[in-house]
Structure 1
């Protein structure tokens, strides 16, 4: 009987405030979509960092002919200089830092260049002699780049020592800032959702003050009186969360995996499993929003 009464009161409240309930669902949907997008973007950034930093290399570019660097004043790196650099990379002093070393000759560099830019007209005029040899060094810890740089920067026969993270980190920085912007927008939208849920519960409580007063007179408990109002907010917020999860799933499936993954193939993209990972968080946030709004509102507007 009590359950039937609570469900009856819940249905009455949803019908009376249908437009406000729809507004709560939409605002919760938008706000939690921003929350989910910020979370997915951060997961994407972490996945990219883990994948790229594991493959990051330090490139020791050897002197080509006619370089303007002081270390290349004697011309192209000689065979003795190249062998000395290779021997030092394989030596005991750098063994704790170096995981693997690959020497790329001019011919290797030319083959890689032609493979990468095979369809570009301007690449046809490039010859192997115009490129430079290099050592590609994979580090045990990519954060230890400075050790290799200190050893080989300024050495005769070495034009420049370059860390590939210098190319990667600006992109990571942009994505991190985009994640912060999305989180900021999500916070604003969550505040809007709390205010709107609070307003909806308040209007529902005020429209049923007479019924609430009668229930007080017959000895109904606070929980019994307030439960229908709490369920109204919780149901609306949960529906909004479900829509947010569905929207994120469609976004990852069709925007990321079907479009971006085909257009830009060197990025390790997240999958729909990431959406299901954050889905419980979004539902939990929705329930928390409803709970906060209920506590703030019902203690005042269900009094008789």
Structure 2
């Protein structure tokens, strides 16, 4: 009897405040979509770090007629001189030394001709490619580290060697990309926080209106000895149900984005990049549902304490 009564009260409340309930669903849906997006973006950052940090290299650029720094020697004509064969051999010997064996997994030499060929493959369709000559590009050693975090060891050892122009850690380019994604995550969290506040206020307003429209019924229930839980539960469940629907919709949209945008398009167009897949929703979706239910439950109880004296 008690269960059927509660169910009828919940259905009645949802019908009476249909427009407000729809508003709660939509605001909860939008806010939790942003919350889920922030979580997925952080997961994507972790996925990319794990994938790219294993492939990251340190580039030891050798001196050329157009060096990046003033480390290179100046020839008799007053111009910078390219690294000599002896200097190049000396750098290779250091890379093969027992001193760096614990840090260097492998390395390869890229000549100016190789650098020019790679440049043309990457930028050959741009107008600037025609103005670049092989002698303008520096030769380099591409070093794969056992631990990418040990870049400072390589930098300190080679930055002052004769024939070395600059030592570049490719992680700095990746960190720029990760920084952009982290910024997007932060923006999503801020928007989500604002929308969650709106959702809490809407739930509170919906419950307050529902309690006001049914004040006569609740008065009668108090007179016949109904418990506090029996009177308040239908109101609380109205907000919880609306928020749960919003969380389910948010989870569905995020799953669709992961499947049809990330996996079916981005992943297929960028085979050399690591992307998260829809299985991430196995932990994101329950989290969104819990957040939505807890917010609705908490705001409903606080509202009822003030506007529904039992």
TM-score (normalizing by structure 2): 0.90
- Cα distance, 1:261 vs structure 2: 3.7
Report the secondary structure of 1:161's partner residue.
strand
- Given that 1:241 and 1:283 are in contact with CA atoms closer than 8 Å, whether structure 2 keeps it comes out as yes
Please name the residue that 1:201 is paired with. 207
Q: Relative to 1, partners in 2 of residues 1:70 and 1:4: Cα closer, same or farther, differing over 3 Å?
A: closer
RMSD: 2.1
Q: Corresponding residue for 1:5?
A: 5
- Per-residue displacement from partner, 1:225-280 (whole Å, max 9, x unpaired)? 11111111111000000111111122223333344445555542222122332000
Following superposition, the deviation at residue 124 of structure 1 comes to 5.0
Separation in structure 2 between the aligned mates of residue 38 and residue 247 of structure 1, nearest angstrom:
14
For 1:134-173, list aligned pairs within 5 A. Answer: 134-173=140-179
Secondary structure at the counterpart of residue 59 of structure 2: strand
Deviations 1:26-55 (A, max 9, x none): 110111011111111111122222222222
Could you tell me which residue of structure 2 aligns to residue 284 of structure 1? 290
The C-alpha deviation readout for 1:134-181, integer Å capped at 9, x for no partner, is: 111112222221211111113211111111122222221121112111
Deviation at residue 288 of structure 1 after TM alignment: 0.4
User: Does the aligned pair in 2 maintain the 1:71–1:155 contact within 8 Å?
Assistant: no
Structure-2 separation of matches of 1:153 and 1:31: 50
Q: CA deviation at 1:25?
A: 0.5
Moved more, 115-124 or 236-245: 115-124
Measure the CA separation in 1 of the matches of 2:176 and 2:124. Answer: 27
CA distance in 1 between partners of 2:71 and 2:153 (Å) = 21
Residue segments in structure 1 that go unaligned for 5+ positions in a row = none
Structure 2's unaligned 5+ residue stretches are 76-80
Within 1, Cα distance between the matches of 2:52 and 2:73?
Answer: 31
User: Hey, what does 1:32 align to over in structure 2?
Assistant: 32
Paired residue for 1:44? 44
**1:100 has 2:106 as partner:** yes
Aligned with 2:90 (options 84, 100, 118): 84
* Aligned-pair CA distance for 1:284: 0.4
Q: Which moves more between the two structures, 16-25 or 144-153?
A: 144-153
Q: Which moved more, 1:252-261 or 1:232-241?
A: 252-261
Query: Given the two structures, how large is their TM-score scaled by the length of structure 1?
Result: 0.92
Partner of 1:60 in structure 2?
Answer: 60
Q: Does 1:20 find its partner at 2:20?
A: yes
Of residues 221-230 and 252-261 in structure 1, the stretch that sits farther from structure 2 once superposed is: 252-261
Aligned length: 304
The answer to whether the 8 A contact 2:61-2:166 is kept is yes
Change in 2 beyond 3 A, CA 1:116/1:289: same
In 2, distance between residues paired with 1:35 and 1:131? 46
Separation (CA, whole Å) in 1 of partners of 2:125 and 2:268: 19
Would you say the 8 A contact 1:72–1:158 is kept in 2? no
Supply the distance in 2 between the matched residues of 1:302 and 1:70 (Cα, whole angstroms).
78
Local SS of the residue matching 1:50: helix
Please say if residues 104 and 146 of structure 2, whose CA atoms lie closer than 8 Å, have aligned partners that are also in contact: yes
Number of the residue aligned with 2:139: 133
Secondary structure in 2 matching 1:34: helix
Pair 214,261 (structure 1): closer, same or farther in 2 beyond 3 Å: same
- Report the Cα distance in structure 1 between the residues aligned to 2:144 and 2:42, rounded to whole angstroms: 26
The structure-2 alpha-carbon separation of the partners of 1:38 and 1:66, relative to structure 1 and needing over 3 Å to count, comes to closer
